[in-house]
Amino acid sequence: MITLALSKGRIFDEAQPLLAAAGIGPLEDSEASRKLIIGTTDPNVRIVVVRASDVPTYVQYGAAELGVAGKDVLLEHGAHWGDRGLYQPVDLGIARCRLCVAVPVGFDYANAVRRGARLRVATKYVQTAREHFAAKGVHVDLIKLYGSMELAPLAGLADVIVDLVSSGSTLKANKLVEVEEVAPISARLIVNQSALKVRREELMPLIARIEDASAAFVL
């Protein structure tokens, strides 16, 4: 049995038709069902439903051979190619957005960065934000939040935020503006490195099916 870790929400919704095209469509609706282990149209593949931030952990420690995770989650997890026992063989091209720095309208971000000001940064992506600003030589105080990121500058908690942006409508509604892209984001297929070595004959055809379905789906 091959286990695929998947999170509820946008990634699950956008992955369903792609997985179905690869012959491993889920047999139940994750939103309607309370089950955390779901069968697929391939009797040798099952899906475990976990939190988005837990997908790399399940794959890293071998509780799942495969997973689908956003690049934002992988960056925060510290998972680069071959790091932490994970491979990222396929960019699935779904759940596209971008990780950005955003500030209140009228805030002179470029000048603040140039003069070496110490910025207060609110974000869920603490590690990624730390690396981004360190590379720019900017001193920051990082404030970990789990939601309603746009509120932080409005309430005086932070100067800037680092968060996922899709259409930008939420930023605009809260009088914030995107000033810098940290990274483009999309969902990736991730694979346990040890499992790929031991069960290569099982996993490689499945990875190829998912990759082919992804290519056709994006086109």
**CA–CA separation, 143 and 121 (whole Å):** 6
> Using one digit for the tens of pLDDT, what is the confidence trace for 116-152?
778 999 999 999 999 999 998 899 999 999 989 999 9
Over residues 150-165, mean pLDDT: 96
| Residues 90 and 101 placed together within one structural domain of the fold | no
Count how many domains the chain has.
2
| Residues 173 and 194 placed together within one structural domain of the fold | no
| Residues 83 and 15 placed together within one structural domain of the fold | yes
Q: How many CB atoms lie within 10 A of CB 17?
A: 13
| Residues 6 and 91 placed together within one structural domain of the fold | yes
| Residues 91 and 190 placed together within one structural domain of the fold | yes
**CA–CA separation, 67 and 171 (whole Å):** 30
Q: What does pTM read for this prediction?
A: 0.90
Give pLDDT, residue 114. 81
CATH number (domain holding residue 71):
3.40.190.10
| Residues 34 and 18 placed together within one structural domain of the fold | yes
Q: What is residue 41's DSSP assignment? A: S
Q: Using the predicted structure, report yes or no on whether residue 81 has a pLDDT greater than 60.
A: no
Q: Using the predicted structure, report yes or no on whether residue 218 has a pLDDT greater than 90.
A: no
| Residues 88 and 121 placed together within one structural domain of the fold | no
> Using one digit for the tens of pLDDT, what is the confidence trace for 171-189?
999 999 999 999 999 999 9
Q: 144 is in which domain, residue-wise?
A: 97-184
Secondary structure (DSSP) of 135-204: HHT--EEEEE-SS-TTHHHHTTS-SEEEEEESSSHHHHHTTEEEEEEEEEE-EEEEEEHHHHHHSHHHHH
Give the chain's mean pLDDT.
92
